[in-house]
């Protein structure tokens, strides 16, 4: 594994003015594994723009079936074969393009990962006949729900769990039978929904911080869940923001934001009765679904407290109706579900940019594997990742008048962008990087264009 700060080259290289022209939002559909009659639904997107989800497949012996899928620009839609016919679901994708989900097996349903075109059983220790992975973090720790055998219940309970591949930790509930985990962050905090000890059965959104199961409250109804979770800053391990939905006293599902101070904020809707938030990134952009006054579901984005129907970013003749947005990556790309010329499929929606885009160093933990991902670079050309410890100016050789926005910038690595202009730098941060304030920028060595500077404290 390469180490940032281990080797660097001093560079005698204000941001250079970009030569890129403004672009409209771009959308790409995944298609389905059973076109034109089937449908495909997205579950997650990574920073390379790759998508995991579930698609119908041609019926087997007269029975409908579905499989998990992997999708990217290069390979298109890739069928993930179940361990045993006929059912599989794709629920999450990591930064290496590994898909996680659950699949039928002999006599049970088991969690899996799909890696190197192989479906691998990941049924956790202690689970009974059912397990599924619904989320994975950048450290490779997975979370989901599994049935366990526990006395005192008429049927086996479901319990939220997380597993690092060696040890599996099952969570308790708020006194009820079941708990379900829907998301994990890079600090191994997990969140979801857990049942209360009440009749009739009710549930509450929870966050587990490694020691305590926190009830995040409700808007007056008897159900709620967390679907998305992020840190509030790139330098703070203790702070978090969660998003999801809460049932109101009038029994309508309402998109909400949960904050570490205990507050619950109802997110604006589109005038309909229901809304739900599914995902959030470090920039605190939130995606989800909201109903119009006529009851039609629409994919939405909440940014700085303002809701936007994502359909307004599409040309009027695009052929798309976006009905749901389920995840957003750190480059602002959104995946979700919609109808394209009458066919239901997943999509990736990418915002415009007049310059290359780059993530921060993620997860940015000293002593751990990290990566930087970008898009909008020259396809097949060299891109340099540079860094420093203060803002300033460093000239770029070969591009008169162009300067990096980092003082005494150093070259960390040089890699080739792929044929779609995307790039990922993968390396380890040394333990001595803890509490270092780091500035980073990516430079396209073919054009002199560069990303904005990222600034963070290594944790």
The CATH number covering residue 359 comes to 2.60.40.10
In angstroms, what is the C-alpha Rg of the chain?
Answer: 22
Other residues' Cβ atoms within 10 Å of the Cβ of residue 179: 26
The pLDDT of residue 8 is: 39
Joined tokens for residue 148: 């366990």
The CATH number covering residue 224 comes to 2.130.10.150
Is residue 452 a part of any domain in this protein?
Answer: yes
Gap between the Cα atoms of 79 and 71, Å rounded: 9
Burial of 57 (0-12, 13-18, 19+ CB in 10 A): buried
Does residue 336 contact residue 296 with C-beta atoms inside 8 Å? no
User: Residue 144's closest CA among 162, 127, 130, 158?
Assistant: 162
Same domain, 257 and 346: yes
Q: Edge-to-edge strand order for the sheet containing 213-215?
A: 175-184, 190-196, 203-208, 213-215
Same domain, 367 and 339: no
The domain boundary residue, chosen from 350, 377, 396 = 350
- The domain of 35 spans 26-350
User: Residue 447's closest CA among 387, 395, 390, 383?
Assistant: 383
Q: In terms of pTM, does the model score above 0.85?
A: yes
Where does residue 369 fall: left (phi above 0), alpha (psi -120 to 50 degrees), or beta otherwise? beta
User: Residue 297's closest CA among 271, 335, 324?
Assistant: 324
Same domain, 293 and 147: yes
Would you list the DSSP string of 114-173?
A: EETTEEEE-PPTT--SBEEEEEE-TTS-EEEEEE---TTSSSPPEEEEEE-SS-EEE---
Same domain, 401 and 320: no
Same domain, 324 and 376: no
Gap between the Cα atoms of 148 and 184, Å rounded: 20
Number of domains in the chain: 2
Other residues' Cβ atoms within 10 Å of the Cβ of residue 30: 24
Gap between the Cα atoms of 263 and 269, Å rounded: 19
Q: If you search the block for the tokens 């005192």, which residue do you land on?
A: 152
Is residue 75 a part of any domain in this protein?
Answer: yes
Other residues' Cβ atoms within 10 Å of the Cβ of residue 202: 17
**Residues of the chain falling short of pLDDT 70:** 1-23, 61-62, 233-238
Same domain, 326 and 342: yes
Gap between the Cα atoms of 133 and 402, Å rounded: 47
Same domain, 331 and 397: no
Would you list the DSSP string of 164-189?
A: -SS-EEE---BEEEEEEEEEE-TTS-
Q: If you search the block for the tokens 């340099």, which residue do you land on?
A: 384
User: Residue 43's closest CA among 250, 309, 279, 201?
Assistant: 279
The pLDDT of residue 283 is: 93
Residue 431 in 3-state DSSP?
A: helix
The pLDDT of residue 51 is: 98
Is residue 3 a part of any domain in this protein?
Answer: no
The domain boundary residue, chosen from 350, 365, 390 = 350
The pLDDT of residue 40 is: 97
| Chain length of the chain | 459
Same domain, 344 and 403: no
Question: Phi and psi (nearest 5°) for 118?
Answer: -120, 135
Same domain, 384 and 299: no
SS (H, E, C) 229-281: EEECCCCCCCCEEEEEEEEECCCCEEEEEEECCCCEEECCCCCCCCEEEEEEC
The pLDDT of residue 2 is: 66
Gap between the Cα atoms of 329 and 94, Å rounded: 11
- Determine the Cα angle at 72 with ends 71 and 77, to 5°: 35
Gap between the Cα atoms of 413 and 397, Å rounded: 17
The domain boundary residue, chosen from 350, 368, 393 = 350
Is residue 2 a part of any domain in this protein?
Answer: no
Is residue 1 a part of any domain in this protein?
Answer: no
Same domain, 344 and 359: no
Residue 311 in 3-state DSSP?
A: helix
Is residue 4 a part of any domain in this protein?
Answer: no
The pLDDT of residue 178 is: 95
Is residue 254 a part of any domain in this protein?
Answer: yes
Same domain, 294 and 411: no
Same domain, 188 and 109: yes
The pLDDT of residue 352 is: 93
């Amino acid at each position: 594994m390469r180490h940032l700060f281990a080797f660097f080259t001093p560079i005698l290289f204000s941001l250079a003015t970009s030569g890129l022209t403004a672009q409209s939002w771009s959308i790409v559909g995944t298609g389905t594994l059973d076109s034109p009659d089937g449908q495909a639904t997205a579950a997650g997107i990574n920073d390379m723009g790759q998508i995991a989800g579930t698609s119908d497949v041609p019926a087997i012996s007269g029975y409908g079936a579905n499989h998990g899928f992997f999708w990217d620009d290069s390979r298109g839609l890739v069928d993930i074969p179940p361990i045993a016919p006929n059912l599989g679901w794709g629920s999450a994708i990591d930064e290496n393009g590994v898909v996680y989900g659950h699949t039928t097996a002999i006599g049970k349903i088991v969690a899996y990962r799909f890696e190197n075109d192989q479906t691998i059983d990941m049924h956790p220790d202690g689970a009974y006949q059912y397990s599924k992975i619904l989320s994975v973090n950048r450290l490779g720790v997975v979370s989901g729900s599994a049935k366990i055998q526990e006395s005192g219940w008429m049927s086996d309970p479901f319990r939220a769990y997380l597993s690092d591949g060696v040890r599996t930790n099952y969570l308790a509930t708020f006194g009820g039978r079941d708990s379900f985990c829907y998301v994990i962050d890079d600090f191994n905090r997990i969140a979801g929904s857990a049942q209360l000890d009440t009749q009739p059965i009710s549930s509450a959104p929870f966050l587990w911080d490694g020691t305590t199961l926190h009830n995040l409250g409700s808007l007056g109804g008897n159900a709620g869940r967390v679907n998305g979770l992020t840190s509030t800053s790139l330098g703070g391990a203790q702070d978090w923001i969660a998003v999801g939905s809460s049932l109101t006293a009038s029994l309508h599902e309402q998109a909400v934001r949960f904050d570490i101070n205990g507050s619950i904020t109802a997110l604006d809707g589109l005038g309909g009765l229901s809304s739900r938030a599914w995902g959030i990134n470090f920039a605190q952009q939130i995606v989800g679904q909201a109903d119009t006054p006529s009851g039609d579901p629409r994919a939405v984005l909440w940014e700085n407290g303002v809701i936007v129907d994502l359909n307004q970013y599409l040309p009027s003749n695009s052929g798309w109706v976006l009905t749901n947005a389920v995840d957003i990556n750190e480059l602002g790309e959104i995946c979700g579900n919609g109808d394209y010329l009458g066919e239901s499929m997943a999509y990736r929606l990418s915002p415009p940019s007049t310059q290359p885009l780059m993530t921060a160093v993620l997860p940015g933990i000293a002593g751990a594997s990290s990566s930087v991902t970008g898009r909008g670079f020259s396809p097949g050309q060299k891109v340099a990742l540079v860094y420093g410890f203060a803002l300033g100016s460093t000239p770029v050789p070969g591009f008169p008048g162009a300067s990096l926005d980092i003082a005494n910038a150093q070259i960390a690595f040089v890699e080739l962008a792929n044929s779609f202009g995307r790039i990922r730098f993968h390396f380890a941060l040394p333990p001595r990087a803890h509490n270092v304030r780091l500035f980073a920028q990516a430079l396209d060595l073919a054009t002199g264009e560069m990303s904005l500077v990222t600034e963070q404290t290594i944790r």
